[in-house]
Amino acid sequence: MARQFFGTDGIRGKTNAGVMTAAVAMKVGQAAGRRFLRGSHRHRVVIGKDTRLSGYMLENAMVAGFTSVGMDVILLGPLPTPAVALLTRELRADVGVMISASHNPYEDNGIKLFGPDGFKLSDEDEAAIEAMLEVEQPLAPSQDIGRARRIDDAAGRYIHAVKRSLPHNVRLDGLKIAIDGANGAAYKVAPEALWELGAEIVPVGVTPNGKNINDRCGSTHIALLQETVVASGADIGIALDGDADRLIVVDEQGVPVDGDQIMALIGSTLAARGSLSGGGVVATVMSNLGLERYLNGQGLELYRTKVGDRYVLEGMRARGCNVGGEQSGHMILLDHATTGDGTIAALQVLAALVQSGKRASEMLHLFDPVPQLLKNVRFSGGKPLENAHVQAVIADAEAALAGRGRLVIRPSGTEPVIRVMAEGDDAGEVEATVSRICDAVTEATGAGAAA
């Protein structure tokens, strides 16, 4: 059955419309609360948020929902998604909630849920909560209504945990670091953690006003950070996204470094120490072939999954790996966190920088990415990928690229779009391959592709 609320990363949408209203948020609180009312102990939920204007509205609605079914609520205020996962476990909570739409603009918001183990909910739990949203949930008797309180030291607890992820013999003294907090959830804690470790900080994107989260700043808009690094003479730049589970790095010359290069560095560094588990790194089908070749050259594997950090995490747990991520910058380091954590990943990069004694530009470009091209083809109906001509064109392209490149074709899960990605050593061949497939999909749609 198709889901109406949960997508690949919780519930997300434009606020005050569709699934992202105060009324829906209250129902989510009631349903998730009832789902995790297990055992005879006093139940509790922790709720964090990013800096969006709508966070106040959704937070209050969820407090009403959880307390109405008998759960106590601990409010964390603006904190990164990984901080919510951490504090869900540390505070022995039954469920954790992060109110954020990650790298989306401020008009959007979302709800991410964590189980008592600090991991995002399973498909089974999400499906159960989805079904519960369709019916009225039993309310707690008057004497059992939950209480809500805000804790003041949540940020300090998270900063302490972040700092513990850095090797004890590593300090950041002498490093000048430009950090872009995306005017989001880590605007305060990430610069503070780096400063406490001895770095000189050049902060940008740390003045949230409710509407400027991810606005021309952060990991999806790195021009500001690039300019800041070069102008300030910083040794390195760090860009987080709105909920700080994503990391993009900029070297001292202002050149961006994506998640593939970061995974190459962290994976090979841990392997050299004998600390890499599972014999390799887990990434998605979108990671560059150059990363795979680099890891193979180090005697390591690249295990690929579907797109989405939840699938990366599933692959990591299944294979016993402790490093995984996405080209877009989601970094999951299971030795330190149960979900993506941009700040912790940044510290692993900074530790390698300090220990190597090299400049960022020397250390962060470990392989040359092969030419890669992604195009989206919008269609009006039918199933173009089931069209015989489209399938034939795809088969021919796969045969032509065999051994020299890769082809990834997938429908979007949220809109009528086919995503066509090819990569290989010959940029011209890659572009021609993508164009042929896109043309075939367009023709099939116009001719009335099979339903």
State the catalytic residues: 102
8 A C-beta contact, residue 99 and residue 73: no
SS3 326: coil
SS3 284: strand
Please name every residue paired with 12 in a beta bridge, in sequence order, or none if there are none.
110
What is the Cα–Cα distance from 33 to 71, expressed in whole angstroms?
Answer: 7
Q: How far is CA 370 from the centre of its chain?
A: 24
Which token pair is 191? 């610069």
SS3 197: coil
CB burial of residue 303 (10 Å; 0-12, 13-18, 19+)? buried
DSSP string, 88-129: HHHTT-SEEEEE--TTS-TTEEEEEEE-TTSSBPPHHHHHHH
8 A C-beta contact, residue 225 and residue 180: yes
Alpha helices in 96-222 (DSSP H): 123-132, 154-164, 189-196
Strands (E), 260-380: 280-284, 301-305, 323-325, 331-333, 372-378
Cα end-to-end span (Å), the chain: 18
Query: What torsion do the CA atoms of 290, 292, 273, 313 make, to the nearest 10 degrees?
Result: 120
Within 8 A by CB and 6+ apart from 279, the residues are 300, 301, 321
Which of 317, 325, 338 is closest to 295 using CA atoms?
Answer: 325
Which token pair is 62? 């969820």
What is the Cα–Cα distance from 440 to 421, expressed in whole angstroms?
Answer: 14
Within 8 A by CB and 6+ apart from 142, the residues are none
Query: What torsion do the CA atoms of 49, 50, 55, 60 make, to the nearest 10 degrees?
Result: 20
Q: How far is CA 63 from the centre of its chain?
A: 25
For the sheet containing 301-305, what is the strand order?
A: 301-305, 280-284, 323-325, 331-333
Q: What are the backbone angles phi and psi of residue 12, rounded to the nearest 5°?
A: -150, 145
